[in-house]
Chains A and B, each alone.
Chain A
Protein backbone atom coordinates (compact mmCIF):
# COMPACT_ATOMS: atom_id res chain seq x y z
CA UNK A 1 0.00 0.00 0.00
CA UNK A 2 1.20 3.54 -0.71
CA UNK A 3 2.52 6.05 1.82
CA UNK A 4 0.79 9.38 2.42
CA UNK A 5 2.95 12.38 3.26
CA UNK A 6 1.04 15.36 4.65
CA UNK A 7 2.57 18.52 3.22
CA UNK A 8 3.28 21.58 5.29
CA UNK A 9 3.08 24.58 2.98
CA UNK A 10 1.92 28.19 2.76
CA UNK A 11 -0.33 27.62 -0.28
CA UNK A 12 2.41 28.89 -2.59
CA UNK A 13 5.38 26.69 -1.74
CA UNK A 14 6.21 23.59 0.28
CA UNK A 15 8.07 23.98 3.58
CA UNK A 16 11.51 22.40 3.55
CA UNK A 17 10.49 19.94 6.26
CA UNK A 18 7.97 18.44 3.83
CA UNK A 19 10.84 17.39 1.53
CA UNK A 20 12.52 15.70 4.48
CA UNK A 21 9.33 13.74 5.21
CA UNK A 22 9.22 12.65 1.54
CA UNK A 23 12.78 11.44 1.90
CA UNK A 24 11.84 9.39 4.99
CA UNK A 25 8.92 7.93 3.02
CA UNK A 26 11.36 6.88 0.30
CA UNK A 27 13.50 5.18 2.96
CA UNK A 28 10.44 3.18 4.06
CA UNK A 29 9.76 2.24 0.43
CA UNK A 30 6.54 2.24 -1.54
CA UNK A 31 4.54 4.58 -3.72
CA UNK A 32 4.49 8.09 -2.24
CA UNK A 33 1.43 10.33 -2.32
CA UNK A 34 1.54 13.93 -1.09
CA UNK A 35 -1.51 15.62 0.41
CA UNK A 36 -1.73 19.39 -0.08
CA UNK A 37 -4.68 20.80 1.86
CA UNK A 38 -5.11 24.52 1.50
CA UNK A 39 -6.96 27.36 -0.19
CA UNK A 40 -5.77 28.62 -3.57
CA UNK A 41 -2.93 26.15 -3.14
CA UNK A 42 -2.36 25.25 -6.81
CA UNK A 43 1.19 26.54 -6.68
CA UNK A 44 2.03 24.40 -3.64
CA UNK A 45 0.42 21.39 -5.34
CA UNK A 46 2.37 22.02 -8.54
CA UNK A 47 5.57 22.25 -6.48
CA UNK A 48 4.63 18.94 -4.86
CA UNK A 49 4.22 17.30 -8.25
CA UNK A 50 7.83 18.24 -9.08
CA UNK A 51 9.31 16.61 -5.99
CA UNK A 52 11.43 13.59 -6.86
CA UNK A 53 9.81 10.35 -5.73
CA UNK A 54 6.25 11.63 -5.41
CA UNK A 55 3.83 9.57 -7.54
CA UNK A 56 0.63 11.47 -6.87
CA UNK A 57 -0.43 14.76 -5.31
CA UNK A 58 -3.82 14.89 -3.60
CA UNK A 59 -5.27 18.39 -3.38
CA UNK A 60 -8.02 19.38 -0.97
CA UNK A 61 -9.21 22.97 -1.24
CA UNK A 62 -11.50 24.67 1.23
CA UNK A 63 -11.70 28.05 2.95
CA UNK A 64 -11.15 26.19 6.22
CA UNK A 65 -7.70 25.12 5.05
CA UNK A 66 -6.37 28.63 4.38
CA UNK A 67 -4.90 28.49 7.88
CA UNK A 68 -5.91 24.96 8.79
CA UNK A 69 -6.50 23.77 12.35
CA UNK A 70 -5.74 20.18 13.36
CA UNK A 71 -9.42 19.42 13.98
CA UNK A 72 -10.33 20.17 10.34
CA UNK A 73 -7.28 18.48 8.81
CA UNK A 74 -7.85 15.33 10.87
CA UNK A 75 -11.43 15.19 9.58
CA UNK A 76 -10.06 15.34 6.04
CA UNK A 77 -7.22 12.84 6.48
CA UNK A 78 -8.78 10.10 8.63
CA UNK A 79 -11.17 8.90 5.87
CA UNK A 80 -8.25 8.84 3.37
CA UNK A 81 -5.97 6.89 5.72
CA UNK A 82 -7.51 3.46 5.12
CA UNK A 83 -5.76 3.28 1.75
CA UNK A 84 -2.28 3.80 3.19
CA UNK A 85 0.31 1.79 5.12
CA UNK A 86 2.04 4.89 6.53
CA UNK A 87 1.10 8.49 7.22
CA UNK A 88 4.04 10.87 7.52
CA UNK A 89 4.30 14.51 8.53
CA UNK A 90 7.25 16.69 9.43
CA UNK A 91 8.08 16.92 13.13
CA UNK A 92 7.34 20.65 13.18
CA UNK A 93 4.70 22.35 15.31
CA UNK A 94 2.36 21.68 12.36
CA UNK A 95 3.00 17.93 12.31
CA UNK A 96 3.28 17.52 16.07
CA UNK A 97 -0.10 19.20 16.51
CA UNK A 98 -1.83 17.19 13.80
CA UNK A 99 -0.50 13.64 13.66
CA UNK A 100 -1.45 12.44 17.19
CA UNK A 101 -5.02 13.55 16.56
CA UNK A 102 -5.16 11.50 13.36
CA UNK A 103 -3.52 8.50 15.05
CA UNK A 104 -5.97 8.46 17.96
CA UNK A 105 -8.95 8.66 15.57
CA UNK A 106 -7.51 5.66 13.71
CA UNK A 107 -6.81 3.87 17.01
CA UNK A 108 -3.12 3.50 16.19
CA UNK A 109 0.02 4.61 18.01
CA UNK A 110 1.92 7.61 16.77
CA UNK A 111 5.67 7.41 16.36
CA UNK A 112 7.20 10.80 17.11
CA UNK A 113 10.23 12.41 15.56
CA UNK A 114 11.84 9.39 13.85
CA UNK A 115 15.54 9.76 13.06
CA UNK A 116 16.04 6.53 11.09
CA UNK A 117 14.08 3.83 9.26
CA UNK A 118 15.22 0.28 10.08
CA UNK A 119 12.34 -1.57 8.39
CA UNK A 120 8.87 -0.52 7.22
CA UNK A 121 7.58 -1.21 10.75
CA UNK A 122 10.73 -0.38 12.74
CA UNK A 123 12.11 3.08 13.46
CA UNK A 124 14.67 4.85 15.62
CA UNK A 125 13.60 7.85 17.67
CA UNK A 126 15.45 9.97 20.22
CA UNK A 127 14.17 10.00 23.81
CA UNK A 128 15.33 11.88 26.92
CA UNK A 129 16.39 14.95 24.94
CA UNK A 130 18.37 12.79 22.53
CA UNK A 131 20.44 11.23 25.32
CA UNK A 132 19.11 7.82 24.30
CA UNK A 133 17.91 6.35 21.01
CA UNK A 134 14.99 3.93 21.09
CA UNK A 135 14.36 1.41 18.31
CA UNK A 136 10.62 0.74 18.20
CA UNK A 137 8.51 -1.67 16.19
CA UNK A 138 4.89 -0.89 15.41
CA UNK A 139 2.14 -3.48 15.74
CA UNK A 140 -0.44 -1.25 14.08
CA UNK A 141 -1.85 -1.64 10.58
CA UNK A 142 -1.24 2.05 9.83
CA UNK A 143 1.97 3.70 11.01
CA UNK A 144 1.44 7.37 11.88
CA UNK A 145 4.81 9.06 11.99
CA UNK A 146 6.45 12.46 12.40
CA UNK A 147 9.92 12.90 10.89
CA UNK A 148 12.85 14.71 12.48
CA UNK A 149 13.86 17.52 10.15
CA UNK A 150 17.60 17.03 10.55
CA UNK A 151 17.65 13.25 10.19
CA UNK A 152 17.05 12.75 6.48
CA UNK A 153 18.31 14.65 3.44
CA UNK A 154 15.63 16.75 1.73
CA UNK A 155 14.13 15.11 -1.36
CA UNK A 156 15.00 16.91 -4.60
CA UNK A 157 12.45 19.65 -5.25
CA UNK A 158 12.52 18.95 -8.98
CA UNK A 159 12.70 15.98 -11.31
CA UNK A 160 9.32 14.50 -10.48
CA UNK A 161 6.15 14.66 -12.54
CA UNK A 162 3.34 13.44 -10.35
CA UNK A 163 -0.32 13.43 -11.29
CA UNK A 164 -2.47 15.93 -9.39
CA UNK A 165 -5.82 14.66 -8.18
CA UNK A 166 -8.52 16.53 -6.29
CA UNK A 167 -10.02 14.93 -3.18
CA UNK A 168 -13.24 15.87 -1.42
CA UNK A 169 -12.81 18.38 1.37
CA UNK A 170 -15.13 18.02 4.36
CA UNK A 171 -14.27 21.59 5.42
CA UNK A 172 -14.67 23.14 8.84
CA UNK A 173 -15.69 21.10 11.89
CA UNK A 174 -16.48 24.30 13.77
CA UNK A 175 -14.50 23.15 16.82
CA UNK A 176 -11.63 25.58 16.41
CA UNK A 177 -10.79 28.56 14.28
CA UNK A 178 -7.56 30.29 13.31
CA UNK A 179 -7.74 33.83 14.70
CA UNK A 180 -4.42 35.34 13.74
CA UNK A 181 -0.69 35.02 13.81
CA UNK A 182 2.32 37.09 14.69
CA UNK A 183 4.97 35.51 12.58
CA UNK A 184 8.54 36.65 12.69
CA UNK A 185 9.69 38.32 9.49
CA UNK A 186 13.36 38.12 8.84
CA UNK A 187 15.69 38.61 5.92
CA UNK A 188 17.89 35.92 7.41
CA UNK A 189 17.50 32.20 6.64
CA UNK A 190 15.13 30.05 8.68
CA UNK A 191 16.71 28.33 11.67
CA UNK A 192 15.82 24.80 10.64
CA UNK A 193 17.27 25.16 7.13
CA UNK A 194 20.18 27.57 7.75
CA UNK A 195 23.72 26.49 6.82
CA UNK A 196 25.16 28.56 9.66
CA UNK A 197 23.54 29.48 12.98
CA UNK A 198 24.78 31.84 15.66
CA UNK A 199 22.90 31.51 18.96
CA UNK A 200 22.96 33.52 22.16
CA UNK A 201 22.23 32.49 25.72
CA UNK A 202 21.78 34.06 29.11
CA UNK A 203 25.30 35.47 28.80
CA UNK A 204 24.02 37.96 26.21
CA UNK A 205 22.44 39.88 29.12
CA UNK A 206 19.84 41.71 27.00
CA UNK A 207 17.86 41.55 23.79
CA UNK A 208 19.69 44.63 22.56
CA UNK A 209 23.00 42.78 22.72
CA UNK A 210 21.70 40.26 20.15
CA UNK A 211 22.60 42.98 17.59
CA UNK A 212 26.19 41.82 18.07
CA UNK A 213 25.17 38.36 16.86
CA UNK A 214 23.05 39.77 14.04
CA UNK A 215 26.02 41.62 12.64
CA UNK A 216 28.08 38.40 12.56
CA UNK A 217 25.06 36.53 11.14
CA UNK A 218 24.82 38.98 8.25
CA UNK A 219 28.46 38.39 7.35
CA UNK A 220 28.04 34.60 7.41
CA UNK A 221 24.54 34.38 5.91
CA UNK A 222 23.53 32.83 9.21
CA UNK A 223 20.30 32.47 11.14
CA UNK A 224 20.12 33.72 14.73
CA UNK A 225 18.99 31.36 17.48
CA UNK A 226 18.84 31.32 21.26
CA UNK A 227 18.82 29.06 24.27
CA UNK A 228 15.71 28.67 26.39
CA UNK A 229 17.29 30.87 29.06
CA UNK A 230 17.54 33.77 26.61
CA UNK A 231 13.94 33.28 25.45
CA UNK A 232 12.59 32.98 29.00
CA UNK A 233 14.47 36.14 29.96
CA UNK A 234 12.60 37.90 27.15
CA UNK A 235 15.74 38.77 25.13
CA UNK A 236 14.24 37.27 21.95
CA UNK A 237 10.91 35.68 20.88
CA UNK A 238 10.09 31.99 21.26
CA UNK A 239 10.69 31.13 17.61
CA UNK A 240 14.44 31.62 18.23
CA UNK A 241 14.58 28.73 20.69
CA UNK A 242 16.86 25.81 19.87
CA UNK A 243 16.57 22.75 22.10
CA UNK A 244 14.62 19.73 23.28
CA UNK A 245 11.33 21.61 23.28
CA UNK A 246 12.20 24.20 20.67
CA UNK A 247 13.74 23.68 17.26
CA UNK A 248 16.08 20.84 16.37
CA UNK A 249 18.85 22.07 14.08
CA UNK A 250 21.91 20.54 12.44
CA UNK A 251 23.69 23.25 10.43
CA UNK A 252 27.20 23.05 8.96
CA UNK A 253 28.35 25.54 11.58
CA UNK A 254 26.77 26.33 14.95
CA UNK A 255 28.23 29.17 17.00
CA UNK A 256 27.05 29.16 20.64
CA UNK A 257 27.65 32.47 22.38
CA UNK A 258 27.16 32.87 26.12
CA UNK A 259 25.39 29.50 26.26
CA UNK A 260 26.43 27.18 29.09
CA UNK A 261 25.16 24.03 27.37
CA UNK A 262 22.28 22.55 29.39
CA UNK A 263 21.33 19.10 28.06
CA UNK A 264 18.02 20.57 26.89
CA UNK A 265 19.92 22.96 24.60
CA UNK A 266 22.46 20.39 23.45
CA UNK A 267 19.51 18.18 22.43
CA UNK A 268 18.62 20.73 19.78
CA UNK A 269 22.04 21.31 18.20
CA UNK A 270 24.55 18.58 18.96
CA UNK A 271 24.20 17.05 15.50
CA UNK A 272 25.63 20.21 13.92
CA UNK A 273 28.68 19.47 11.78
CA UNK A 274 30.99 21.99 13.43
CA UNK A 275 30.32 23.60 16.81
CA UNK A 276 32.00 26.76 18.07
CA UNK A 277 31.54 27.82 21.71
CA UNK A 278 32.31 31.27 23.07
CA UNK A 279 31.93 31.50 26.84
CA UNK A 280 33.75 33.11 29.73
CA UNK A 281 33.30 30.02 31.94
CA UNK A 282 35.98 27.50 31.03
CA UNK A 283 34.01 24.75 32.79
CA UNK A 284 30.79 25.31 30.80
CA UNK A 285 29.51 21.96 29.43
CA UNK A 286 29.17 23.45 25.94
CA UNK A 287 32.98 23.18 25.58
CA UNK A 288 32.80 19.38 25.92
CA UNK A 289 30.97 19.10 22.61
CA UNK A 290 32.53 22.09 20.84
CA UNK A 291 35.08 21.55 18.09
CA UNK A 292 36.49 25.02 18.64
CA UNK A 293 36.09 26.59 22.05
CA UNK A 294 37.14 30.15 22.80
CA UNK A 295 37.20 31.12 26.48
CA UNK A 296 36.69 34.78 27.20
CA UNK A 297 34.36 37.76 27.37
CA UNK A 298 31.82 37.52 24.58
CA UNK A 299 31.46 41.31 24.53
CA UNK A 300 35.09 41.51 23.39
CA UNK A 301 35.20 38.32 21.30
CA UNK A 302 32.03 38.78 19.22
CA UNK A 303 32.91 42.31 18.02
CA UNK A 304 36.44 41.06 17.27
CA UNK A 305 35.00 38.13 15.33
CA UNK A 306 32.73 40.52 13.46
CA UNK A 307 35.68 42.76 12.58
CA UNK A 308 37.88 39.81 11.57
CA UNK A 309 35.18 38.42 9.28
CA UNK A 310 34.73 41.88 7.78
CA UNK A 311 38.48 42.25 7.25
CA UNK A 312 38.81 38.86 5.54
CA UNK A 313 35.73 39.47 3.40
CA UNK A 314 37.42 42.69 2.26
CA UNK A 315 40.55 40.76 1.23
CA UNK A 316 38.71 38.13 -0.79
Chain B
Protein backbone atom coordinates (compact mmCIF):
# COMPACT_ATOMS: atom_id res chain seq x y z
CA UNK B 1 0.00 0.00 0.00
CA UNK B 2 1.23 3.41 -0.99
CA UNK B 3 1.36 6.01 1.79
CA UNK B 4 1.68 9.75 1.30
CA UNK B 5 2.91 12.07 4.05
CA UNK B 6 2.82 15.85 3.98
CA UNK B 7 5.65 17.72 5.69
CA UNK B 8 5.82 21.45 6.39
CA UNK B 9 8.87 23.60 6.92
CA UNK B 10 8.30 25.84 9.95
CA UNK B 11 10.22 28.01 12.39
CA UNK B 12 11.87 25.56 14.81
CA UNK B 13 9.83 24.97 17.96
CA UNK B 14 12.68 26.17 20.17
CA UNK B 15 12.93 29.60 18.52
CA UNK B 16 11.43 32.54 20.37
CA UNK B 17 9.67 34.28 17.48
CA UNK B 18 9.77 38.03 16.83
CA UNK B 19 7.00 40.04 15.26
CA UNK B 20 8.26 42.29 12.43
CA UNK B 21 8.23 45.98 13.29
CA UNK B 22 6.08 46.78 10.24
CA UNK B 23 3.46 44.32 11.58
CA UNK B 24 3.36 42.32 8.33
CA UNK B 25 4.27 39.03 9.95
CA UNK B 26 6.84 37.15 11.96
CA UNK B 27 10.58 37.38 11.32
CA UNK B 28 11.69 34.25 9.45
CA UNK B 29 14.96 35.46 7.90
CA UNK B 30 18.02 33.93 9.58
CA UNK B 31 15.83 31.87 11.87
CA UNK B 32 16.31 28.14 12.37
CA UNK B 33 13.72 26.19 10.39
CA UNK B 34 12.73 22.55 10.91
CA UNK B 35 10.11 20.03 9.98
CA UNK B 36 6.84 20.69 11.81
CA UNK B 37 7.01 18.34 14.86
CA UNK B 38 3.60 16.77 14.17
CA UNK B 39 4.74 16.00 10.61
CA UNK B 40 7.80 14.18 11.98
CA UNK B 41 5.33 11.98 13.84
CA UNK B 42 3.46 11.47 10.54
CA UNK B 43 6.65 10.39 8.76
CA UNK B 44 7.53 8.07 11.63
CA UNK B 45 4.06 6.51 11.47
CA UNK B 46 4.48 5.86 7.74
CA UNK B 47 7.95 4.38 8.19
CA UNK B 48 6.69 2.06 10.92
CA UNK B 49 3.91 0.89 8.58
CA UNK B 50 6.58 0.10 6.03
CA UNK B 51 8.67 -1.77 8.59
CA UNK B 52 5.54 -3.75 9.51
CA UNK B 53 5.10 -4.74 5.86
CA UNK B 54 1.91 -2.71 5.46
CA UNK B 55 3.21 0.27 3.48
CA UNK B 56 5.14 -0.42 0.28
CA UNK B 57 6.09 3.02 -0.90
CA UNK B 58 6.24 6.27 1.09
CA UNK B 59 5.99 9.59 -0.71
CA UNK B 60 6.89 12.75 1.23
CA UNK B 61 5.33 15.96 -0.07
CA UNK B 62 6.23 19.51 0.88
CA UNK B 63 4.88 22.75 -0.53
CA UNK B 64 6.63 26.10 -0.57
CA UNK B 65 9.90 27.79 -1.49
CA UNK B 66 13.17 26.10 -2.51
CA UNK B 67 14.40 25.25 1.04
CA UNK B 68 11.39 22.96 1.56
CA UNK B 69 13.56 20.48 -0.26
CA UNK B 70 15.60 20.13 2.97
CA UNK B 71 12.43 19.18 4.82
CA UNK B 72 11.70 16.51 2.22
CA UNK B 73 15.31 15.25 2.57
CA UNK B 74 14.74 14.91 6.31
CA UNK B 75 11.69 12.75 5.61
CA UNK B 76 13.69 10.69 3.10
CA UNK B 77 16.45 10.22 5.68
CA UNK B 78 13.86 8.98 8.18
CA UNK B 79 12.75 6.35 5.67
CA UNK B 80 10.44 7.84 3.03
CA UNK B 81 11.18 6.54 -0.48
CA UNK B 82 10.75 9.58 -2.65
CA UNK B 83 9.67 13.19 -2.55
CA UNK B 84 7.38 15.60 -4.32
CA UNK B 85 8.08 19.30 -3.94
CA UNK B 86 5.39 21.78 -4.97
CA UNK B 87 7.67 24.72 -5.57
CA UNK B 88 6.21 28.18 -5.02
CA UNK B 89 7.06 31.41 -3.25
CA UNK B 90 3.38 32.31 -2.94
CA UNK B 91 1.66 32.36 0.44
CA UNK B 92 -0.15 29.05 0.82
CA UNK B 93 -3.18 28.82 3.10
CA UNK B 94 -4.61 25.47 4.27
CA UNK B 95 -7.36 25.31 1.61
CA UNK B 96 -4.80 25.83 -1.18
CA UNK B 97 -2.48 23.25 0.38
CA UNK B 98 -5.36 20.77 0.59
CA UNK B 99 -6.18 21.35 -3.10
CA UNK B 100 -2.55 20.88 -4.13
CA UNK B 101 -2.28 17.70 -2.06
CA UNK B 102 -5.51 16.43 -3.62
CA UNK B 103 -4.01 16.89 -7.08
CA UNK B 104 -0.97 14.85 -6.03
CA UNK B 105 -3.15 12.18 -4.39
CA UNK B 106 -5.20 11.91 -7.59
CA UNK B 107 -2.00 11.19 -9.49
CA UNK B 108 -0.22 8.94 -6.98
CA UNK B 109 -3.30 7.08 -5.65
CA UNK B 110 -2.09 6.32 -2.11
CA UNK B 111 -4.41 4.35 0.21
CA UNK B 112 -3.43 6.44 3.19
CA UNK B 113 -2.37 10.06 3.69
CA UNK B 114 -0.80 10.99 7.02
CA UNK B 115 -0.30 14.61 8.13
CA UNK B 116 0.49 16.39 11.36
CA UNK B 117 -2.66 17.60 13.12
CA UNK B 118 -1.46 21.20 13.10
CA UNK B 119 1.50 23.29 12.05
CA UNK B 120 3.15 25.11 14.93
CA UNK B 121 3.45 28.35 12.95
CA UNK B 122 -0.10 29.22 11.90
CA UNK B 123 -1.70 26.81 14.43
CA UNK B 124 -4.55 26.24 11.96
CA UNK B 125 -5.30 22.53 12.39
CA UNK B 126 -7.18 22.35 9.07
CA UNK B 127 -5.26 20.78 6.19
CA UNK B 128 -5.91 17.08 6.87
CA UNK B 129 -9.64 17.58 7.37
CA UNK B 130 -9.83 19.74 4.22
CA UNK B 131 -7.94 17.19 2.14
CA UNK B 132 -10.24 14.40 3.33
CA UNK B 133 -13.26 16.54 2.43
CA UNK B 134 -11.98 17.32 -1.09
CA UNK B 135 -11.19 13.65 -1.71
CA UNK B 136 -14.51 12.47 -0.23
CA UNK B 137 -12.48 10.25 2.11
CA UNK B 138 -12.89 9.59 5.81
CA UNK B 139 -10.68 11.46 8.23
CA UNK B 140 -9.26 10.33 11.56
CA UNK B 141 -7.75 13.34 13.27
CA UNK B 142 -5.53 13.65 16.37
CA UNK B 143 -4.49 10.00 16.19
CA UNK B 144 -2.65 8.43 19.10
CA UNK B 145 -2.95 4.83 17.84
CA UNK B 146 -3.29 3.49 14.32
CA UNK B 147 -4.22 -0.04 13.29
CA UNK B 148 -4.45 -0.70 9.56
CA UNK B 149 -6.54 -3.58 8.19
CA UNK B 150 -7.32 -4.62 4.62
CA UNK B 151 -10.36 -2.47 4.00
CA UNK B 152 -10.25 -0.12 6.93
CA UNK B 153 -8.40 1.30 9.86
CA UNK B 154 -9.07 1.57 13.56
CA UNK B 155 -7.81 4.83 14.98
CA UNK B 156 -7.67 6.00 18.57
CA UNK B 157 -8.03 9.78 18.76
CA UNK B 158 -7.09 12.25 21.47
CA UNK B 159 -10.22 14.26 22.25
CA UNK B 160 -10.94 16.82 24.98
CA UNK B 161 -12.60 14.30 27.27
CA UNK B 162 -10.03 11.51 26.82
CA UNK B 163 -9.72 8.99 24.00
CA UNK B 164 -12.14 8.04 21.26
CA UNK B 165 -11.89 5.20 18.75
CA UNK B 166 -13.17 5.38 15.20
CA UNK B 167 -13.34 2.79 12.46
CA UNK B 168 -12.76 4.28 9.04
CA UNK B 169 -12.78 2.93 5.52
CA UNK B 170 -9.68 3.13 3.35
CA UNK B 171 -8.48 5.15 1.55
CA UNK B 172 -8.38 7.73 4.31
CA UNK B 173 -6.61 10.72 5.79
CA UNK B 174 -5.08 10.47 9.27
CA UNK B 175 -3.66 13.37 11.28
CA UNK B 176 -1.22 12.74 14.09
CA UNK B 177 -1.21 13.77 17.72
CA UNK B 178 1.78 13.79 20.06
CA UNK B 179 1.37 10.35 21.58
CA UNK B 180 1.23 8.38 18.30
CA UNK B 181 4.97 7.67 18.37
CA UNK B 182 8.35 9.14 19.10
CA UNK B 183 10.05 10.03 15.81
CA UNK B 184 13.50 8.59 15.16
CA UNK B 185 16.61 10.57 14.44
CA UNK B 186 17.96 9.89 10.98
CA UNK B 187 21.29 8.05 11.06
CA UNK B 188 24.24 9.40 9.10
CA UNK B 189 24.18 6.53 6.56
CA UNK B 190 20.47 7.16 6.02
CA UNK B 191 21.10 10.88 5.59
CA UNK B 192 23.69 10.01 2.91
CA UNK B 193 21.30 7.57 1.23
CA UNK B 194 18.53 10.18 1.26
CA UNK B 195 20.63 12.43 -0.94
CA UNK B 196 20.25 9.92 -3.77
CA UNK B 197 16.49 9.47 -3.41
CA UNK B 198 14.45 11.25 -6.09
CA UNK B 199 12.51 14.46 -5.49
CA UNK B 200 10.09 15.52 -8.21
CA UNK B 201 9.41 19.23 -8.55
CA UNK B 202 6.07 20.63 -9.70
CA UNK B 203 4.50 24.08 -9.90
CA UNK B 204 1.02 24.78 -8.49
CA UNK B 205 -0.10 25.85 -11.98
CA UNK B 206 0.91 22.46 -13.37
CA UNK B 207 -1.46 20.91 -10.83
CA UNK B 208 -4.25 23.23 -11.98
CA UNK B 209 -4.76 24.82 -8.56
CA UNK B 210 -5.51 28.48 -7.87
CA UNK B 211 -3.66 29.24 -4.63
CA UNK B 212 -4.90 32.82 -4.16
CA UNK B 213 -5.27 33.40 -0.40
CA UNK B 214 -8.85 33.68 0.86
CA UNK B 215 -7.80 35.41 4.05
CA UNK B 216 -5.91 38.68 3.94
CA UNK B 217 -3.61 39.26 6.89
CA UNK B 218 -4.15 42.90 7.82
CA UNK B 219 -1.57 42.94 10.60
CA UNK B 220 0.40 40.79 12.98
CA UNK B 221 1.08 42.13 16.46
CA UNK B 222 2.66 41.09 19.70
CA UNK B 223 0.20 40.07 22.39
CA UNK B 224 -0.01 42.30 25.45
CA UNK B 225 2.84 41.49 27.81
CA UNK B 226 2.04 39.93 31.11
CA UNK B 227 3.54 41.58 34.20
CA UNK B 228 5.03 38.73 36.16
CA UNK B 229 8.07 38.06 38.24
CA UNK B 230 6.51 38.55 41.70
CA UNK B 231 7.88 36.31 44.43
CA UNK B 232 6.69 35.21 47.83
CA UNK B 233 8.85 33.77 50.60
CA UNK B 234 6.59 31.19 52.19
CA UNK B 235 3.45 29.14 51.83
CA UNK B 236 1.73 31.31 54.49
CA UNK B 237 2.55 34.47 52.54
CA UNK B 238 1.31 32.85 49.33
CA UNK B 239 -2.03 31.87 50.83
CA UNK B 240 -2.35 35.33 52.44
CA UNK B 241 -1.78 37.09 49.14
CA UNK B 242 -4.16 34.81 47.25
CA UNK B 243 -6.86 35.47 49.85
CA UNK B 244 -6.36 39.14 50.63
CA UNK B 245 -4.55 40.71 47.69
CA UNK B 246 -5.62 38.75 44.60
CA UNK B 247 -8.85 37.54 46.28
CA UNK B 248 -9.01 34.40 44.17
CA UNK B 249 -9.43 31.85 46.98
Instruction: Give A residues with C-beta under 8 Å from B.
Output: 69-71, 74, 92-94, 96-105, 107-113, 122, 126-140, 174-184, 192, 196, 220, 228, 231-232, 237-239, 244-245, 247, 252-253, 263-264, 270, 273-276, 287-295, 301, 304-305, 308-309, 312
Contact = CB atoms under 8 A, between A and B. Distances in A.
A99 B17 CA distance: 28
A133 B222 contact: yes
Nearest to B122: A127
Interface string B1-37: 0000000000101001101000000100000000000
Contacts of A301: 235
Given A96-B141, A135-B218, A104 B235 contact: no
B24 to A, nearest CB: 10
Nearest to B235: A304
Contact of B138 (A71, A99, A102, A309): A71
B239 A305 contact: yes
10 contacts: A93-B158, A101-B130, A109-B93, A127-B26, A182-B162, A183-B161, A238-B144, A238-B158, A287-B231, A301-B235
Contacts of B94: 100, 109-110
A72 to B, nearest CB: 10
A295 B241 CA distance: 16
Interface stretch (B49-57, B60-68, B70-78, B166-174): B166-174
Contacts of B127: 100
Contacts of A228: 178
B163 to A, nearest CB: 5
B226 A177 contact: no
Nearest to A74: B133
A139 B239 contact: no
Contact of A263 (B16, B93, B154, B177): B16
A244 B123 contact: yes
Contacts of A220: 249
B45 interface: no
Nearest to B231: A293
B224 to A, nearest CB: 9
Contacts of B139: 70-71, 97, 101, 176
A290 B230 contact: yes
A190 B177 CA distance: 21
B133 to A, nearest CB: 4
Contact of A112 (B123, B141, B235): B123
A104 B129 contact: yes
B137 A292 contact: no
B187 interface: no
Nearest to A273: B248
B133 A101 contact: yes
B141 A292 contact: no
Given A129-B123, A263-B16, A308-B236, A274 B214 contact: no
A127 B241 contact: no
B223 interface: yes
Nearest to B234: A294
Nearest to B37: A245
A143 B122 CA distance: 18
Contact of A180 (B140, B164, B222, B236): B164
B216 A291 contact: no
A238 B163 contact: yes
A104 B130 contact: yes
B137 to A, nearest CB: 7
A100 B130 contact: yes
Given A108-B214, A181-B163, A239-B161, A126 B223 contact: yes
A196 to B, nearest CB: 7
Nearest to A309: B239
A135 B222 CA distance: 11
B231 A139 contact: no
Contacts of A304: 235
Interface in B94-110: 94-95, 98
Given A113-B123, A133-B222, A137-B218, A175 B169 contact: yes
Nearest to B218: A135
Interface centre among B16, B123, B216 (most CB of A within 10 A): B123
Closest 8 CB pairs of A and B: A100-B129, A109-B214, A104-B130, A104-B133, A100-B126, A175-B138, A289-B228, A176-B138
B130 A103 contact: yes
Contact of A132 (B95, B118, B126, B222): B222
Nearest to A267: B123
A153 B162 CA distance: 25
Contacts of A138: 214-215
Given A104-B98, A112-B124, A245-B117, 19 more contacts: A74-B133, A104-B133, A110-B130, A128-B26, A132-B222, A133-B223, A137-B216, A174-B169, A175-B168, A183-B161, A183-B162, A183-B163, A239-B158, A253-B248, A276-B238, A289-B226, A291-B246, A293-B230, A301-B235
